[in-house]
Structure 1
Amino acid sequence: MYSFITLCCLFGAVIPPAVLNIIAYPISRRWSCAISQYIVKVLAPRVFAILNCYRHFSFFGYSDSKKMLPEQFMIISNHQSLFDIPAFMNFFREKELRFVAKDNLSRHIPLVSEMLRAHRHCMIPRKGSPMVAMKIMESFGKQVLENNQIPVLFPEGTRSRDGNVGKFYSAGFRKLNEAAGLPVVACAVDGGSKIRDLDHIMRSLKNGCYRVKVLKVFDAPKTKEDESFVLEESRRLIQNQLDDWRKLGSSCR
């Protein structure tokens, strides 16, 4: 019963702005940006509030870990589901986040697609040449610098099926670092692998937990050796944090 109520509340909250943005985007980017801003600043926290109210699914962002952050930085994190995007938006709601994502997310995904396009997130073609992808990443790096935005990169390149951290790929990270030259913030996120689709939401949502935490701030890498160290150390720290969280079981702390 509560699963049905949860879905009704979620659809009631999500469908109106999703439909409005689908209509607005071809007409006016300004209108679409306004709707997208509502999605980021108001709807993302509301979705987690609904989940907490009806299914005791908690969002726990470790606010104290943000005290170490510089004014502008690049985030690298593990990746578990599309819910990672609203999770980060909720955790860093005082910042303007811009995600690096595959371009298939910019089409036919209600709520997400128009928001990603209107706010000029970095859409990487799945079938394009590496040279094209690197040019897009370079342009994106300049954009975030000019607009004081926070780029978010998932170096795994795809969502983890089992929740563990996969291989971190370096090409996109290196190009973004070359273009933006920002300090790098390693973050861990956990909880998305259990709710990656509607079936998992229905079965695994109750008493679940989504966690986001800043683990370490690195100075902007200056060399390829620095970049390799940041990626390797970030992956190690993230996996260690996931292991620690899982020892807590369903306790969201």
Structure 2
Amino acid sequence: MKRIIGHIFSPLHHLGFFLVLIIFQPIQWLCYKLGGYKAHKSSVDIMNFFLLIPYYFVFDFISFKNEQNLPIDRPIIFVANHQSMYDIPPLIYFLRKYHAKFISKIELTKNIPSISFNLKYGGGANIDRSDKKQSLGEIMKLGQRMRDNNWSTVIFPEGTRSKTGKMKEFQIGGIATILKKAPNALIVPIAIENSWKMVRYGLFWLNAFIPLKFTVLTPIEPAGKDIVELVKELEIAVKNVVEKDLD
């Protein structure tokens, strides 16, 4: 039944999602040109609020739980598992006060309304996965911007999305590189549950009545910790939530 209802209402979801992207393309441009970073970021935050609404068109519900008292006067590296593209808008919107930036494939900076513009001018890192030198340089520049502006970043250390909800091993590369440039960053794990179920039948035919859950877990101070042990600690913390009742 969930699958059938999801298939019926998926076109409505896609139409709503696409319209938001189309409408905010000129809004982003205008905000960036007239008001710079601050105005542009506000437009992106508002856009991502509206991008959450089409989730409900297929009766998928979002729960974002953050009971941590996180600072806004130091960089934060949010480390999360990754299950689908529908992880992104809730993270941008609910982490908006932390100025969370993403590491994205450079291919996404072209030809996608609103998304490409934000990736180009929003302050994140756009990497060419076939060019390790370019990728490293971009991530280091992101780390420097985080340190200079007390920005944050969201890293998906699995490398690729999980299509079954079962987590892949966390890699140390991105976290270690950013810590070199922003050694005062706080590490905060986030557990994402069930977004893979939303797209289990593909991106076009969505599943309905899926509770998407985002849980901000206990922060970890990286100072004095071995990077390998630190990343494993993050992986275990997230896995304990994500896979506790995986079906």
* Short-chain TM bin: 0.7 to 0.9
Shift of 1:31: 6.7
- Tell me the distance in 1 between the aligned counterparts of 2:203 and 2:138: 34
- Tell me the distance in 2 between the aligned counterparts of 1:245 and 1:37: 37
Q: Partner residue of 1:243?
A: 243
Q: Partner residue of 1:70?
A: 71
Aligned length in residues: 237
AA matched with 1:234: L
Distance 1:33 1:142, change over 3 A: closer
AA matched with 2:188: V
Distance 1:171 1:201, change over 3 A: same
SS in 2 for 1:233: helix
Instruction: Select 1:118's aligned residue among 99, 118, 121.
Output: 121
Shift of 1:111: 2.5
RMSD (Å) for aligned C-alpha atoms = 2.8
SS in 2 for 1:141: helix
Is the 8 Å Cα contact of residues 14 and 54 (structure 2) preserved in structure 1? no
- Tell me the distance in 1 between the aligned counterparts of 2:156 and 2:99: 17
- Tell me the distance in 1 between the aligned counterparts of 2:169 and 2:245: 20
Q: How does 1:148-187 map to 2 (within 5 A)?
A: 148-181=150-183, 182-187=185-190
Unaligned runs of 5+ in 1: 248-253
AA matched with 1:173: I
Q: Partner residue of 1:190?
A: 193
Q: Partner residue of 1:251?
A: none
Instruction: Select 1:42's aligned residue among 26, 43, 46.
Output: 46
Normalised by the size of structure 1, how large is the TM-score? 0.81
Partner deviation per Cα, 1:85-123 (whole Å, 9 max, x = no partner): 212112212221111222222223332111011112111
- Tell me the distance in 2 between the aligned counterparts of 1:217 and 1:94: 17
Is the 8 Å Cα contact of residues 21 and 115 (structure 2) preserved in structure 1? no
Is the 8 Å Cα contact of residues 44 and 90 (structure 1) preserved in structure 2? yes
SS in 1 for 2:167: coil
Normalised by the size of structure 2, how large is the TM-score? 0.83
- Tell me the distance in 2 between the aligned counterparts of 1:70 and 1:147: 13
SS in 2 for 1:56: coil
Q: Partner residue of 1:250?
A: none
Distance 1:199 1:146, change over 3 A: same
Instruction: Select 1:12's aligned residue among 16, 19, 27.
Output: 19
Distance 1:153 1:171, change over 3 A: same
Q: Does 1:141 align with 2:143?
A: yes
Shift of 1:39: 4.8
- Tell me the distance in 2 between the aligned counterparts of 1:203 and 1:101: 24
Unaligned runs of 5+ in 2: 1-7
Is the 8 Å Cα contact of residues 177 and 221 (structure 1) preserved in structure 2? no
Distance 1:135 1:189, change over 3 A: same
- Tell me the distance in 1 between the aligned counterparts of 2:39 and 2:93: 16
- Tell me the distance in 1 between the aligned counterparts of 2:136 and 2:10: 43
- Tell me the distance in 1 between the aligned counterparts of 2:55 and 2:60: 5
Shift of 1:174: 0.9
